[in-house]
Amino acid sequence: MSTQELHGEVILKFEDVSFEFGHNKPILHEVDFTLRRGAKVTLMGQNGSGKSTIFNLITSHYKPEFGKIHIQNKLTIATAKQVIPRADLHLTVKEFFEKCFKHKVYDIEPKIEEILEVVNLKAPFDRAVKTFSGGQQARLLLASALIQDPDLLLLDEPTNNLDKEGIAHLTKFLVAYKKSCIVISHDAEFLNAFTHGVLYLDIYTKKVEQYVGDYFDVRDQITARIEKENMKNAQLAKEIQENKEKANFFAMKGGRMRLVAKRMREKAEELEEEKVDVRREDKTIHQFHIPVQEHLVGEIIHISEFFIFKNHKKVARKTNISIKKKQHLLMVGPNGIGKSTLLEAIASGDAVGSKIAPGIKVGYYRQDFSTLNFEDTVFDSLMSVMDKHIEQEMRNVAAGFLITGDMIYTKIGSLSEGQKGLVALARLVLQKPGLLILDEPTNHMNFRHLPVIAKALSDYEGAMILVSHVPEFVKQIKITEVFNLEK
């Protein structure tokens, strides 16, 4: 951090803040941290640890059970959420931006135009929000926070669904941003471009650890700390063992030596107290395998025609793509060209010019998780995709995706976005599809899970169509053909 940022005034302070969802679900326990004016920090932690909850506490959407949150007087705060609320999808672009302000803003159109330029999006003011692609909606979310020009900007997974160009635009904006910012993200390269420090929410202790430096600095500090704690405990364990052995030796001698033995045991107990709890790392999902539908032969899907969107108009294009077993197609193109629209049409069987062979089971991972019923419990959602409803098999698969304990009886709608993603992956394993269609499967995912997911997709033996804007992820997957919608 620069000298100015280190000595900037404190604009936000969490003091012994505790918060829980219901009686048995503690999220934060006596959390302390501060944010200074001009600081740009990353908020990190495992999926479901409570990062979005911290944002809701900052915006007063939630109130702490205990402790205090001190926010500087008249500090303005704006949030760019992970997804557009379902209730807002029917709004026009103009109505969507008008809703960002508590009071009516006159002559708002030039402001909207200016902010859409910042996020590199051309959008007619009368167009409905729901008609935009996932990447375009991500830009609208971002713009809805930026248009408020807040003192504190809260960004929740802002790179999700953004293409390379969109991430570059956002990075440039944040590097130049003069005010304070807290970002939740799992994109290390993006974060390292502007981050001064990291707030790390530990899912085990429910506390926030505050670090100076970028993501890689923090990773190195945590690794060094674990090594130091392990070494200290190993040294103490050695001393404890020596004291116990001496105590046993002197106790055997009887008489006054029993007193020496007692002192030795007390010393061993004191050393036990000195042992530290070694910081536990975030859990990673287990290695998994997506079983393929039996008796797959010949062509699984053929695409002869498709539609793209050019200047907001639908344009037909011809192609000749045939995908068989063990063939993986990567679909590429900029935000808004129609990748998600095409995937949805193919998955539903409604795509003009696309034909899936009869009897093929389609496993579809949607970036907005709308294939999941948010009212279902995780238990019901997982059981519903199985041919044979074997509960133990389902629970074994769920556990591999860190779905354990009470989480299995939780409604899908109450899960974090990252946890919804894990449920969607578990469903694919239980479904055993012949055709896998994946739309941005890295969104909202803890970075530790990504190599595991990449390996499972690379090893998948059915036909696969993948859309992903994360080059590092795609690099780890066996791709047999690239389908560029722009060419």
Kindly report the three-state secondary structure assignment for every residue of 409-466.
HCEHHHCCHHHHHHHHHHHHHHHCCCEEEEECCCCCCCHHHHHHHHHHHHHCCCEEEE
What integer pLDDT is reported at residue 282 of this predicted model?
65
- The pLDDT of 391-398, averaged and rounded, is 95
User: Is the pLDDT reported for residue 67 higher than 50?
Assistant: yes
Confidence of residue 144 (pLDDT cuts 50, 70, 90): very high
User: Is the pLDDT reported for residue 391 higher than 60?
Assistant: yes
User: Is the pLDDT reported for residue 77 higher than 60?
Assistant: yes
- The pLDDT of 318-333, averaged and rounded, is 95
- Kindly report, residue by residue over 416-445, the tens digit of the pLDDT: 888 999 999 999 999 999 999 999 999 888
Q: Rounded to an integer, what distance in angstroms lies between the CA atom of residue 220 and that of residue 236?
A: 24
The residue with greater pLDDT, 97 or 106, is 97
The residue with greater pLDDT, 389 or 233, is 389
User: Is the pLDDT reported for residue 3 higher than 60?
Assistant: no
Instruction: Look at 77-81, 270-274, 473-477 and tell me which has the smallest mean pLDDT.
Output: 270-274
pTM tops 0.75: no
User: Is the pLDDT reported for residue 404 higher than 50?
Assistant: yes
User: Is the pLDDT reported for residue 6 higher than 50?
Assistant: no
- The pLDDT of 147-169, averaged and rounded, is 87
What integer pLDDT is reported at residue 328 of this predicted model?
97
Residue 334: closest CA among 160, 452, 469: 469
What integer pLDDT is reported at residue 23 of this predicted model?
67
Q: Rounded to an integer, what distance in angstroms lies between the CA atom of residue 114 and that of residue 112?
A: 5
User: Is the pLDDT reported for residue 353 higher than 80?
Assistant: yes
Confidence of residue 1 (pLDDT cuts 50, 70, 90): very low
What integer pLDDT is reported at residue 286 of this predicted model?
93
Percent of the chain topping pLDDT 90? 51
Confidence of residue 484 (pLDDT cuts 50, 70, 90): very high
Domains located in the chain, CATH noted: 3-76+150-219 (3.40.50.300), 299-484 (3.40.50.300)
- The pLDDT of 326-342, averaged and rounded, is 91
What integer pLDDT is reported at residue 53 of this predicted model?
92
Per-residue H/E/C for the chain? CCHHHHHCCEEEEEEEEEEECCCCCEEEEEEEEEEECCCEEEEEECCCCCHHHHHHHHCCCCCCCEEEEEECCCCCEEEECCCCCHHHCCCEHHHHHHCCCCCCCCCCHHHHHHHHHHCCCCCCCCCEHHHCCHHHHHHHHHHHHHCCCCCEEEEECCCCCCCHHHHHHHHHHHHHCCCEEEEECCCHHHHHCCCCEEEEECCCCCCEEEEECCHHHHHHHHHHHHHHHHHHHHHHHHHHHHHHHHHHHHHHHCCCHHHHHHHHHHHHHHHHHHCCCCCCCCCCCCCCCCCCCCCCCCEEEEEEEEEEEECCEEEEEEEEEEEECCCEEEEECCCCCCHHHHHHHHHHCCCCCEEECCCCCEEEECCCCCCCCCCCEHHHHHHHCCCCCCHHHHHHHHHHCCCCHHHHHCEHHHCCHHHHHHHHHHHHHHHCCCEEEEECCCCCCCHHHHHHHHHHHHHCCCEEEEECCCHHHHCCCCCCEEEECCC
User: Is the pLDDT reported for residue 4 higher than 50?
Assistant: no
- The pLDDT of 44-58, averaged and rounded, is 88
What integer pLDDT is reported at residue 216 of this predicted model?
75
- The pLDDT of 59-77, averaged and rounded, is 94
User: Is the pLDDT reported for residue 7 higher than 60?
Assistant: no
